[in-house]
Amino acid sequence: MPDPAARNPFTPTFGSSPELLVGRDDILEAFTRGLDEGPGSPTRALLLSGQRGVGKTALLNAIEDRAQTLGWLTIAETALEGLIGRLVTDHLPALLRAHDPRSVTRLLDGVTAPGGIGGASFTVRDRHPRTPSLRSQLTDLTEILAPHRTGVLITVDEVWPGSAVELRELATVVQHLFREARPVAVVMAGLPENVDALLNAEAITFLRRAHHAILGAVTRTEARAALDVPVTAAGRRFTADALDAAVDATRGYPYMIQLIGYHAFAVHREGAVTLDAVERARHRALGEVGRMVHRPALRLLSAKELEFVRAMAVDDGPSRTSDIAARMDRSPAYVGQYRRRLLAKHIISAPAHGLVDLPMPGIRDYLRLDPEATEAGYTGFW
């Protein structure tokens, strides 16, 4: 019997882990192998990049879960200012307190015996007091963990050029620990343009050597599973035509999978999820992707860059650069500079010589729907 009050099994919010995470098995398995193989494995330094809503945070969460299953300790952080400070004064002391057997004796420091017999304090003065640094704390922690064949994983989400100095500091320390064959792993994630900027930044050679996974569209089969399995688990089902339409509407974009699934599931409280429900869901989902993803991205464009993408939105598929030049009434050389800038911002892609495309699902419709908006690549979506 279907439960009429079945909880909606979809999670159309950024940063939330989906009920079924699809299309990321290869990365997860390579990472897990890296932890098994021991220090020196290339996937112990992993860099994830991809467009908004492609599933970077969801994958980081899954990676942390895998690591924890293998007994690893995990620290999940964001590249906001003060990252190193939070590691040194917050995460690492907490993990050391919890896992260092010697910390028990340290806790006796300063204990005063009751009954007025005089206080017994076990404080031992260190002749060479050491201010704990990121490197020393990670060294201590990995020394405790290594005999158990586990280690510590640090994930850093939302990396951006403003965090370059702190990421460099973290990378330098991790590189030392790698050389000393200590069990540490680091995974960083960010938007493509931010990751590109960091890779080009001086002295982050470590990141350049990291294994770089570019997250893109999931396959049709994977999108189908991500829609169908949670609905079935909730005691309902898609009609065959509804599932086909829902799969098509996602174009392999994970955020869209969750939006389509969520809204289609919500149209009726019980029974089959119908084609009509999927159609209604598609409209709502496109509106939300527009508001949450396209509008903020387009707002960062200059007037000319926006004019370029609007000229592209006239076409139903990839545009010829020469047509764009004609529509903008400019020379190919002139529009070429905007083409380059938009490619660097990952707003457009270049599927073939002389062609440009708008890879984000639904951005074409959004540009057409909203021609008066003044707000001044996600590769491979089908």
- Report the interface residues with Mg ion, using CB under 5 A: 56-57
Is position 260 an interface residue for ligand ATP (rule: CB under 6 A)? no
The reply to whether 188 sits near ligand ATP by the rule CB under 6 A is no
Is 79 or 186 the residue whose CB approaches ligand ATP more closely? 79
> What whole-number distance in Å separates Cα of residue 6 and Cα of residue 269?
8
- Binding status of residue 226 toward ligand ATP by CB under 6 A: yes
- Check binding of 250 to ligand ATP (CB under 6 A): no
Q: Name the segment binding ligand ATP (CB under 6 A); options: 21-29, 92-100, 167-175, 280-288.
A: 21-29
- For 351, the enclosing helix (H) or strand (E) is none
Is the distance from CB of 321 to CB of 357 less than 8 angstroms? no
Taking the complex as a whole, the smallest distance from the CB of residue 217 to ligand ATP amounts, in Å, to 10
Tell me the closest approach of the beta carbon of residue 227 to ligand ATP, in angstroms.
9
With CB atoms as reference, the residue minimizing the distance to Mg ion is 57
Structure tokens at 178: 């790698």
Tokens 């149209």 correspond to: 267
The item of ligand ATP, Mg ion, none sharing an interface with residue 221, based on CB under 5 to 8 Å by kind, is none
Instruction: Say if CB 281 and CB 263 are below 8 A apart.
Output: yes
- What are residue 130's phi and psi, to 5 degrees? -115, 125
Under 8 Å CB-to-CB from 78, ≥6 apart: which residues?
156, 157, 158
Distance between CA atoms of residues 98 and 291, nearest Å: 44
Site string for ligand ATP, 333-362 (x = CB under 6 A): ------------------------------
Q: Estimate the share of the chain in helix, then strand, then coil, as percent rounded to the nearest 5.
A: 55, 10, 40
Q: What binding mask, one character per residue, do residues 146-185 give for ligand ATP by CB under 6 A, x or -?
A: ----------------------------------------
The stretch among 131-139, 238-246, 251-259, 364-372 that binds ligand ATP (CB under 6 A) is: 251-259
Q: What is the DSSP string of 158-210?
A: S--GGGHHHHHHHHHHHHHHHHTT--EEEEEEE-HHHHHHHHHSTT-HHHHHS
277 near ligand ATP (CB under 6 A): no
Q: Which residues bind ligand ATP (CB under 6 A)?
A: 11-16, 18, 21-24, 50, 52-58, 191, 226, 254-255, 257-258
